[in-house]
């Protein structure tokens, strides 16, 4: 987690957590089954980077939004190509009931 001082009196600190992961077209029902999937450079993948944004208010960290970047790698020797970058506020994530909303403390 990266934390920096903020000029706001209401939120004197802001913090971010960056999560990076790879999505592959295969799926499996259990963690062990996922671990057993073969690793091959021939399979197209999506490289995902999510930055979860928080502010420190009234003595606790409060999730406020997520910035997400998706890059696609279609061939083993190819560089990943930008696909999209999105930003979502916490209220939008709650409305769509995303797993990211849970990370921001939005689950009711």
Whether the CB-CB separation of 20 and 49 falls below 8 Å is answered with: yes
| Least confidently predicted of 17-26, 28-37, 58-67, 69-78 | 28-37
Q: Where are the beta strands (DSSP E) in the chain?
A: 2-5, 13-23, 45-57, 60-73, 81-89
SS3 69: strand
Return the domain boundaries, the chain: 2-25+43-103
Tell me, what's the pLDDT at 5?
92
Q: What is the pLDDT of residues 22-52, one digit of tens each?
A: 877 777 777 787 777 766 667 778 888 889 9
pLDDT of 15 over the 80 cut:
yes
Radius of gyration of the chain (CA): 17
Residues facing residue 97 across a β-bridge: none
SS3 78: coil
**CA-based nearest residue to 4, from 17, 14, 12:** 14
């Amino acid at each position: 987690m990266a934390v920096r001082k903020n000029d706001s009196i209401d939120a004197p600190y802001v913090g971010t957590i960056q999560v990076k992961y790879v999505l592959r077209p295969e799926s499996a029902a259990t963690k062990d089954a996922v671990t057993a999937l073969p690793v091959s450079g021939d399979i197209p993948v999506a490289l995902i980077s999510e930055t979860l944004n928080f502010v420190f208010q009234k003595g606790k960290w409060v999730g406020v939004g997520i910035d997400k970047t998706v890059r696609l790698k279609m061939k083993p020797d190819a560089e990943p190509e930008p696909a999209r970058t999105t930003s979502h506020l916490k209220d939008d994530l709650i409305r769509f009931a995303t797993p990211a909303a849970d990370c921001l403390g939005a689950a009711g």
